[in-house]
Amino acid sequence: MYKKIIYCAFLLFLLLPSSKSYGATELKAAFTRQGFLWIANGSYEKKVTTKKALFTNNPQWSQDGRLIVYEKEGNDIKPDQSKTNEIWVYDTVRNTHKLIARDGRHPVWSPHGHSVAYVEGMALQVSDLSRFRTVSVGVDDFIWIPDGKGFIVSAGADLHPDGWTNPILYKVPLTAPSTPYSQEATPFFTIPKELTKGKATIMSINAGDFSFSPDGKWLSFTVSPTASWSMDSDMLCVLSVDGKQFSVLDEVILHLDNAKWAPNQSTLAYIAGGGRIVFGFKNKQLNITEIPVYQTVHMTPPHYAELGFSWITDSSLVVSRVVESEWSNDYTKRPKASLYLLNTKTNMQRKLTSPTGFLGDYQPLYVSSIDKLTWLRGKDFWGYGDIWMSDRDGKNAARWIKSVELYGIYNPSALPKGAYER
């Protein structure tokens, strides 16, 4: 009898989750479905919220794969009659939810540990999940420095009687709570009031979508004009971290796909071209630029347009590509994307997927920790659908998760660079 008890206890011990294995070898995701937050680990799915809610952004995993930060619409009404945006953290080990901010935006995990930074009003806050503190004020956007000891923050331009001021980038250290934040911010680059690339010129109002190169020596970001104008034309820029070398790379648009650095090199890929998608699926070309020599390779063939991409190695990528066409209010008449594998050294381009039934393949993401390719198969590139996965070459493709709305896949190799992937 005693031996049976010991044996059963041993089996139970094996089944208990280890505190050091949050980032397991199986692919895992956090996602929303029909107003609830879910998690998936391999073939296992679990609904982790009980009250229906309107989620407002993609959930994000902490670096160790234990915690998930998510945003949902609050119940309070602000002076402009909009509802508040709550920030919560879910602990996958303790199965608990904690409210971090009653009205915040843009939460981003620290590259190390369990601190999350976010903007509330115009103040940059950092929470260690037990308390929060103000790190800086007058902030539009930010990025963690890769070592987790501070931030790059942007302050947008202001309209004065004599015109707009310049947007400014600051370095802000994460100091002791007793240190006044106003004494710590150091301006290190002033963005010119206007930026020009080719025939396109924009006013510089805001800067965001920051991302560090793998070696931490370069910072990419997007400069945007006023709100309506920014839907049609923005500028992708690169700046050395000492603030001495600045370059306008290309015209881009927001809300398509962010620029991304190669896994191990200072090579930046991005979708170039102005004009919002509702003006047509055209003028969206994948360019790859080596920094700091600024040699650019154009990867999109004539009569095609790119909607998203993901690096696999320093010389290979997967893109979501459509045939150029005009916009249609009827989704069945819009072009449907397929995935293509590209090689920058050999110029090889090979089609990986051919979806049917008015569906397309969008939002590719390569997860290097388990060597798998994921994407969303749905009606539109901003819409909902099913998450699929395959080997990196497209083989053994299969549906992984059905009926997904917003989602975030645990991809630890992407997180330390400061960018957060879908």
Walking along the chain (422 residues) 10 residues at a time, the average pLDDT comes out as: 41 37 69 98 96 97 97 90 94 98 97 96 95 93 96 96 96 76 83 96 97 97 90 95 97 94 98 93 97 95 98 98 95 94 96 95 95 96 91 96 97 55 37
Six-digit token pair at 404?
């997904």
3-state SS class at 88: strand
60 class by beta-carbon count within 10 Å (0-12 exposed, 13-18 middle, 19+ buried): buried
pLDDT attached to residue 76: 86
Task: Scan for tokens 């089996």, then name that residue.
Answer: 11
Domains along the sequence of the chain with CATH: 256-422 (2.130.10.10)
* Residues belonging to the chain: 422
Cα torsion angle, 289, 295, 299, 302, sign: positive
Q: What is the pTM of this model?
A: 0.90
Please state, in angstroms and rounded to a whole number, the distance separating the CA atoms of residues 56 and 90: 16
Nearest to 167 by CA among 265, 246, 228, 114: 246
Long-range contacts of 335-338, Cβ-Cβ distance < 8 Å, separation of 24 or more: 335/281, 335/360, 336/360, 337/307, 337/361, 337/362, 337/381
Residues 11, 20: contact at Cβ < 8 Å?
Answer: no
Q: CB-side exposure of 228: number of CA atoms within 13 Å?
A: 0
Count of CB atoms within 10 A of residue 130's CB? 7
Nearest to 285 by CA among 297, 268, 267: 297
Residues 12, 392: contact at Cβ < 8 Å?
Answer: no
Instruction: Evaluate the omega torsion of the peptide bond into residue 292 and state whether it is cis, within 30 degrees of 0.
Output: yes
Q: Which amino acid is at 329?
A: N
At 83, give phi and psi (nearest 5°): -90, 155
